């Protein structure tokens, strides 16, 4: 079974703090993704990575950065946390597409972040 | 910007009924579609993927894809209270990208 783990289930931080969210997958997937999920807005892609040290911006990258130093680990960094970054953060991973259709994305359990 | 649209619902059905969830997409070139189920407070989990026109069945679930009309649907037969969740539809993004575009989800409640 694919396993995607995230470092924290719940996190409380202060405005201006630097926040690190960690994601690890154990299935040798090439692709890793960071989303945030907010009521009424659905899942929105922040960043994704298709290889070590490679990253691409998603739909809402402002205020975030990412790091992928090892294939199994993808970190999301909030450089200076703000209250509007209070959200559920979800990490996902998938195999690189080799056939006609995209491979399934598998999600971690999520981190609920509260910025005060 | 590629879009995937779902009726926001909510949808309420009695136990044992068929629940029908629908999704339309804007990019005629999209080829891959996924249905995820998300229980409250949990992360999305895959129910089905579908890549070809027609129906794909897995137990009580049937996914339907109609590329000419650009819609994808999920039917849940013999609905159970445990099916109560938010269902997310997703489709592939730009050609060659590994990204998915998600609908906003529809909340389904199955009443005993």
- Per-residue model confidence as pLDDT tens digits over B33-90: 999 999 999 999 999 999 999 999 999 999 999 999 999 999 999 999 999 999 999 9
Residue pair B90/B33 in contact (Cβ under 8 Å)? The answer is yes
* Chain B CB contacts of A55 below 8 Å: none
Sequence-distant contacts of B23-28: CB under 8 A, at least 24 apart = B23/B71, B23/B72, B23/B73, B23/B74, B23/B89, B23/B91, B23/B103, B24/B70, B24/B71, B24/B72, B25/B70, B25/B71, B25/B72, B25/B91, B25/B101, B26/B2, B26/B70, B27/B2, B27/B3, B27/B91, B27/B93, B28/B67, B28/B70
Which of B34, B35, B43, B53 to mutate: most A Cβ within 10 Å?
B43
Q: Provide the terminal-to-terminal Cα distance of chain B, rounded to the nearest Å.
A: 40
Provide the pairing of β-strand A56-57 with A42-49: antiparallel
Is B88 in Cβ contact with A102 (below 8 Å)? no
* Chain B CB contacts of A48 below 8 Å: 98-99
Is B100 in Cβ contact with A102 (below 8 Å)? yes
Is B103 in Cβ contact with A102 (below 8 Å)? no
> Which residue in chain A has the smallest CA separation from B4?
A42
Gap between the Cα atoms of A32 and A58, Å rounded: 12
Is A105 in Cβ contact with B43 (below 8 Å)? no
Is B34 in Cβ contact with A104 (below 8 Å)? yes
pLDDT at residue B104 tops 80:
yes
Summarised one tens digit per residue, pLDDT across range B6-20 is: 987 899 999 999 999
Q: Which residues of chain A have pLDDT under 50?
A: none
């Amino acid at each position: 079974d694919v396993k995607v783990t995230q470092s924290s289930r719940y996190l409380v931080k202060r405005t201006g703090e630097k926040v690190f969210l960690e994601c690890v997958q154990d299935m040798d997937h090439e692709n890793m993704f960071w989303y945030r999920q907010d009521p009424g807005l659905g899942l929105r892609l922040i960043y994704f990575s298709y290889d070590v040290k490679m990253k691409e911006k998603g739909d809402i990258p402002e205020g975030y950065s990412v790091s992928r130093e090892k294939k199994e680990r993808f970190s999301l960094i909030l450089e200076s946390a703000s209250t509007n970054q209070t959200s559920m953060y979800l990490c996902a991973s998938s195999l690189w597409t080799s056939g006609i259709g995209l491979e399934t994305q598998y999600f971690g359990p999520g981190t609920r972040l509260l910025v005060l | 910007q590629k879009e995937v649209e779902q009726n926001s619902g909510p949808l309420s059905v009695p136990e044992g009924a068929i629940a029908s969830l629908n999704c339309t997409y804007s990019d005629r070139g999209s080829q891959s579609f996924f249905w995820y189920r998300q229980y409250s407070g949990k992360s999305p989990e895959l129910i089905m993927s579908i890549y070809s026109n027609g129906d794909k069945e897995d137990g009580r679930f049937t996914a339907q894809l109609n590329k000419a009309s650009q819609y994808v649907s999920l039917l849940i037969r013999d609905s159970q209270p445990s099916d109560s969740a938010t269902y997310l539809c997703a489709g592939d993004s730009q050609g060659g990208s590994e990204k998915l575009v998600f609908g906003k989800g529809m909340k389904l409640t199955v009443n005993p």
